[in-house]
Structure formats: C-alpha cells, structure tokens
Amino acid sequence: MNRKHTVIGLPSSVFFSIFFILFSLISSGQVSSTIDSTSIKIGEQITYYVQVEADSTALVVFPEGQTFSPLEMIESYEIDTLKKIDKYNLIKKYGLTQFDSGSYTIPRQKIIVGDKTFFTDSLKVEVNNVVVDTTQGLYDIKPIIAVEKSGSDWWKYLLLTVLVIGVLAFLLYWFIWRKKPLTEDEKIALLPPYDRAKLAIRKLDESTYLENQNLKDYYSELTFIIRKYLDEKVYDKALESTTDELITRLKILKQGNQVDLSKDDIKNLEDILKRADLVKFAKSAPDIELAKIDRDTIDVEIDHVKEALPEPTEEEKLLDEKYREEQERKKKRKKIWLTVGISVFLLLATLTGLSLKYGFDLVKDTIIGHDSKELLEGDWVRSEYGFPPITISTPKVLKRSTPELPEEMAQQIELTQFSYGSLIDKFQIQVATTNIKNLGENKINLEQAMEGTLKVFENAGAQNIITKNEKFVTPNGAEGLKVYGTMDSPVLGTDKLEKGKYVILGFTAESVVQQVMLFYKEQDVYAEQMVDRILNSVELKPAEE
C-alpha cells in the first residue's frame, strides 16, 4: 500500500499516546479451538484442533509457523473437510509440545475467513516433570572443561602495518637521507677553484691527446681550465666570452686595480687563447713542444691569478659561509619535499587501491570516523523490554523514556516506552508496549493503530511522509505488520528539511499493542545494516496468564 502525506513537522518522543483512539472492533465468528489434553509430560505431544464453519466459496487462512509459543509446533496436519448442507466444517490439527515443566497458555490464534478476522480462545496446558527413578545410581556432574579461547588476529595486521612502514622508512633513508659516499667528480666539485684548476692540469698531463697529436681537444681542455678558473674568481662571464672580450675585460679590471695582473700575464693569456682559437676553428697545427710550453704557461698563470686576487674581506668570507649554509638548506628542503612527495604518493596510491576494492565511502569513514559505523561495529546489547517482553538486539541499551500521561488517558491505557537517540540524531530506536484497559470483547485493529501513529507524525510536524505496509514475521514466528517509508525531518534550529527513513513494527495480542520504531537518515548505509540486524533480532514472548 502506498500513500503520501503532506505534513509540517516531526514527533518528539511520544509516539504511542493516541493509539487507543484508533482501535476498531472485529466481530467474533464460527471459530472454535480445543486440545486433546490439558496435562502432559515434558516432551509429550498434544493435538490442538481448530474448527471453522464457512461457506463453500470462502477463503480460510489458518495460522502457520511458530505462533503457539511458548509451546512449540512440531507438526501441522492436513485440513479435514466435512460438508454440512450449504456450508463446510474445516478442521485443522497441530502437534504441539514443550520441554520445560510449568503452566503454559496457548495464545489466541488468528483465523481469516473471507474478509473477516477471527481469534480462537487461549487455552491453558500443564506440563509435568517426568518422575525420576531414584533406584538407579546417580553420577557426579562432569567438571568444567577449559576451552582455549581463540585469539584475535589484530596483532597480525599491526605487525604487517609496522613492517610496511619500516620498509618504506628504510627506503626513504637509504635513497634520500643517507650520506652517500662521494663520487670522484663530487669530490673534485667540492675543492676550491684553485685546487680544482691545478688538478685539472695534472689530469691533462695524463691524457693521450699529445701522443695522438689531437691538438684540438688538447687546447680545448687547456683553455677551458683557465677560462673556468677566471670565471669563478675574476670574471663571471669568462666561459661565454670570446678571446678579445675576455682580454679586454682583464685589462679593464687591471686598470681599475681589481686584479693585480701584469701586462706580461695578460699577454701570455691572450697569445695562448688566440692560438687555441686557431687550432679549434682554423685547423692550425702548432708544434707539440709549443703545446707543452703553453701548458706550463697556463699552470704558471693560474698561480699568478691567485696571487693577483685581493684577500677576501671578512664580509666576503661571511657571505661565502652564508652561501654554503643556504646551499645546505636547499639540499635539505629538497630532501624534505621529496620525502613528503613520495609519502603522499604512496598514501594516495594505498587509499586509491583500498577505495577500488572496498569503496571510497567505507575507506573515508574508517579513517575519518562515522557515528553510524561506530554504532554498527560496537558491542551490541540483547535485552528484553516491556511486558509482554520484546527481545531485541540494539547497538546501545535502550533507556526508559515513558512519558507522563494525563490522568484521564492513564485510566484507559498503560504505556511503557524505551528509546535510544532522537530525531535530531542520526539514528533513533524506540520500543513501546501499550496495554488497553477495559477492552472487553472488542478487538484491536493493528492497521488502524499504525495509521494512528502516522497521524501523530503529522500532528507533531513531519513533511511528505510516504508509507508502505507489508506483513512481518519475527524469527520466532510472531506475526505483525511492518510500516516503512520516507519522510522529511526538520534540521534543528533551521527551516531546512532533511530526508530520512523509518520502519515501524506493530504486533497485537489480546489487549496489548507492541511497537518497534526505527528512524535514520537516508543514504546512511551503516544505518541500513543496523536496521536489518535489529529487525532480524526481534522476538516476542507472550505474557503467561
């Protein structure tokens, strides 16, 4: 059944206070029930008979399942049919038993004949203990056997996590933070410019350029050594300048007393650089001995350039020290950013893999946290509420929340209510039992009682309540009505509405209405799982007379 209510708000905490107004009566009919014995021994079977007188065209529905609790149905027999003029007598038999001694009441059974509902009378059965033969020997009670408790595997996941983090930390240290042994080129790069130039001269002596008369490469190396030294200590564009530009710059620096080079030193450098240009670009081929002399001249000129340079001031030394410190900081920052980048990449890759396997929402809620997820994965409680008791498993213990009824209403109904959460929370559970006094021969109409609950929602303020009804059977066989759907709940302190869902279970027995109500927000997958778990746990136990 689908319908839509347009209303203006939500109920607060009292959902059951006007049920009795909405109960209707169901007339009794030609239905009777009997049992073949009112006293049995433990485990002995009794036969329960239901007799219905109906028209030949009437559809008759007998109870099925464990509706005879506290007695247990062990067999349901075929229906016997007897014709009587224009009517039929239908006789349905059930085999019942009980394995605990005591006085029990078989509850009233619902029989549907056509479009009418009838209830049988409740019947009392006495279950007696089996007489024990005391002449037989008795044996001691077996001692308690210790069972090894199976441990949790949490330590395995912790060990794996620590192992993975340890491996990643070692790799980051080994490839990024570890001080690696310097290569030969790195050691040379750390030398001062003068020592580096003198070392380059010695390496040139070890080369085979002159032996192979490879003067072009020889002069290229030789002039690069002096140009590199001048670039670092005298003129920072010595490497990219032409010979004429470099010599002109040296003369200007000499005139400005910035470099104390003699005219002979500058002339020697000019001759060697121009000769090297001829060798490199004009394919000139000077004598090998002249090339050796040029090598010695460059070696001497490196010494003269060093002597010609003024001693660095304390300020220059400090600037050099700051420069080296800044370079070290840059290297350290580079390592930090590289470590952070690799760590973020690995983290994102891990989260992406987990999201693809388990879903993004689950991974996000596991890391950040989610109220409903914590309730779902917490320690649940199974308990009984009200009388007759409703047994139910919930994520938290339900607290008594029975409202104080007006005196006039308290004379007509007796209400017991337990709850957890509220409608402004993300999840709410309520269990209530309403006992209607002085009902007499009248019968409770459960559908109209549930309609009354929806009216309470409307009067208290919900909007756009959409409902569906269906039959509901508990795991222990109790039949009831399930009403569920959606509604718009107001957000506290605002005029906004939030889409939510609800499930209401309703049960009746004689003058008692029992209800389980669940409210949760739409799109909350963890709440959906909690609702399924709760619904599968509901069991009803009839009150013993």
Q: Provide DSSP, 308-324.
A: HSPPPPHHHHHHHHHHH
The residue-averaged pLDDT of 525-535 equals 88
274 alpha-carbon distance from chain centroid = 76
Residue 406 is given by DSSP the state: P
Residue that has been written with the tokens 């600037």 in this structure: 319
For 18-66, write each residue's pLDDT tens digit.
333 333 323 334 888 899 988 888 888 999 999 898 887 778 888 887 7
β-pair partners for 127: 40, 102
pLDDT value of position 273: 92
Question: At residue 543, does pLDDT exceed 60?
Answer: no
Average pLDDT of the residues in 329-342: 86
pLDDT, tens digit (0-9, with 9 covering 90-100), for 165-198: 888 888 888 878 887 777 777 777 778 888 989 9
Strands 381-385 and 390-394: antiparallel
Q: Please choose, from the candidates 118, 110, 119, 114, the residue with its C-alpha nearest in 3D space to the C-alpha of residue 62.
A: 110
502: closest CA among 540, 466, 526, 533? 466
- Say which DSSP state 343 is in: H
Q: Where are the alpha helices (DSSP H) in 234-313?
A: 243-255, 263-281, 288-308
The arithmetic mean of pLDDT across residues 494-499, rounded, is 77
Mean pLDDT of the chain: 80
Give me the pLDDT at residue 242, please: 93
pTM flag (> 0.75): no
Q: What is the rounded CA–CA span in Å between residue 278 and residue 289?
A: 17
Q: Are 521 and 369 a contacting pair, CB within 8 Å?
A: no
Q: What is the pLDDT of residues 380-412, one digit of tens each?
A: 988 888 888 889 999 888 998 888 878 777 778
Q: What is the mean pLDDT of residues 284-288?
A: 87
Angle in degrees, CA 198, 199, 202, rounded to 5 = 90
Beta bridge partners of 384: 391
Question: What is the pLDDT averaged over residues 212-237?
Answer: 90
63 within 8 A of 109, measured Cβ to Cβ: yes
Amino acid at 46: I
Better-predicted residue by pLDDT, 116 or 362:
116
Domains of the chain: 27-128 (2.60.40.10), 191-308 (1.20.120), 371-540 (3.40.1000.10)
> Position 144: which residue type?
I
- The conformation of residue 259, written as its DSSP 8-state character, comes to S
**Residue 125: beta bridge partners?**
104
SS3 34: strand
CA distances from residue 270 to 16, 243, 247, 299 in whole angstroms, order as listed: 109, 7, 6, 15
Peptide bond into 70 cis (omega under 30): yes
Sequence-separated contacts (24+) of 220-224 with Cβ below 8 Å: 220/276, 220/280, 222/272, 222/276, 222/294, 222/295, 222/298, 223/272, 223/273, 223/276
